[in-house]
A = this chain, B = another copy of it.
Amino acid sequence: MVKEEHSHHESALHVRKGIASSHDGFASPQKRRFRKKEEQLPDAGELAAKILAGERKDLAKAITFIESNAKSHYNYGQELLQQLLPHTGKSIRIGITGVPGAGKSTFIEAFGHMLCESGLKTAVLAIDPSSSISGGSILGDKTRMESLARHPNAFIRPSPSGGTLGGVHRKTRETMLLCEAAGFEVILIETVGVGQSEFMVRGMVDFFLLIVLTGAGDELQGMKKGIMELADAIVVNKADGPNKQLAEKTRREFNQILHMLQPATKGWASQAFTCSSIQRNGILELWEVIQEFEEKTKAAGTFEERRRLQTKEWLHTLIVEQLKANFYQHPYVTHHLTEMEQKAMTGEITPAQALANLFSNVYKQNEQ
């Protein structure tokens, strides 16, 4: 028999003490007492009906619950999500990344506007791992997408702030589902190239777009390892004015590299394109590429297959992160991990011995 002696599972997606500043809402088996008097939450069925009817105020309210770090809100959000699940999944989910300065916001403004004008309800979400540090950089500046934000078919939601990257991940994933239930047909998820955020976004979208600037060599130097191999398309932005020729050259260079890499999506040859977000050139053409992608992968079955695998992988991500949270937040581990690491790093003990020490103290066993 094995016993685990701790009872606090405050948060899940971080592995070090000190970072655990907020409750990210992973299902914790513990019951918690609340200091504040319990608030009156709206009836989940009623709120769900309003979201299904496309009430944007209620969608925003629901997202607030999903993003809340309070346990009662988390549970309420899960109940809501459960009711809305049958109505999700009908959008095309597009991830958009690129180094800072590549013009992601202006691209999304142009791309989103084109979609909204053609009658497509478009939601723009963001995953910004830096926002918990800097206080929000992408989509945070409200003036940046002003024109798009005013469009009746658009819905813009900045990155949830605070908490761990894993928490932000969960919140964005669930917000995406809420938007789908509210009838949004295109979901754009913007992320900056920091930490593991592109890999997370790749794990929740159908199509992944990498935005770059001219000068492929310099671009790639600053680019994270493996990022090009996630992309279903690369778009060289700012292909206008004197920059146009260089953009074309860059496009060819990227195509050369893409040709040598494994495709991000089976049966789909990723290609590079140029566009000008300011002159709105190449925007519609890119949408046609994405539509072709959707058609082809749906016909081949890879579209649905990827979504099923994404859900399964998400479950396993949750499991591993929860396991890690439980372990790394155990009092013995918080007190002795650094010491064990140091002893292993200086060669005083083997890593296997450090492991045995930690596990035997966390999972105290009875004699058999």
Residues of A within 8 A of B (CB): 1-7, 26-27, 29-31, 33, 78, 81-82, 85-86, 88-89, 170, 174, 216-217, 220-221, 223-226, 229, 257, 259-262, 308, 311-312, 314-315, 318-320, 322-324, 326-327, 340-341, 344-345, 347-356, 358-360, 363, 365, 367-368
Contacts and interface: CB of A to CB of B under 8 A. Distances in A.
A217 B262 contact: no
Given A3-B1, A226-B226, A341-B315, A82 B350 contact: yes
Contacts of A223: 262
Interface of A is mostly: helix
A277 to B, nearest CB: 25
A354 B322 CA distance: 13
Contact of A356 (B27, B88, B225): B27
A365 B78 contact: no
B319 A26 contact: no
Given A78-B352, A318-B352, A355-B319, A347 B86 contact: yes
The 4 A-B pairs with the shortest beta carbon distances in the complex, nearest first, are A27-B356, A2-B4, A220-B260, A315-B351
A78 B217 contact: no
Given A27-B356, A29-B360, A260-B216, A81 B350 contact: yes
A344 B368 contact: no
Contacts of A327: 319, 323
A350 B7 contact: no
B220 A225 contact: no
B341 A312 contact: yes
Contacts of A217: 259-260
A106 to B, nearest CB: 26
Given A1-B7, A30-B365, 19 more contacts: A1-B3, A1-B4, A2-B5, A2-B6, A7-B365, A27-B352, A27-B356, A29-B363, A78-B350, A81-B352, A85-B350, A225-B226, A225-B229, A311-B344, A311-B347, A311-B351, A312-B345, A320-B323, A323-B327
A93 B314 CA distance: 36
B1 A2 contact: no
The winner among A81, A170, A322, A352 for most chain B CB atoms within 10 A is A352
B345 A308 contact: yes
B216 A351 contact: no
A69 B120 CA distance: 60
Contact of A367 (B2, B6, B31, B323): B31
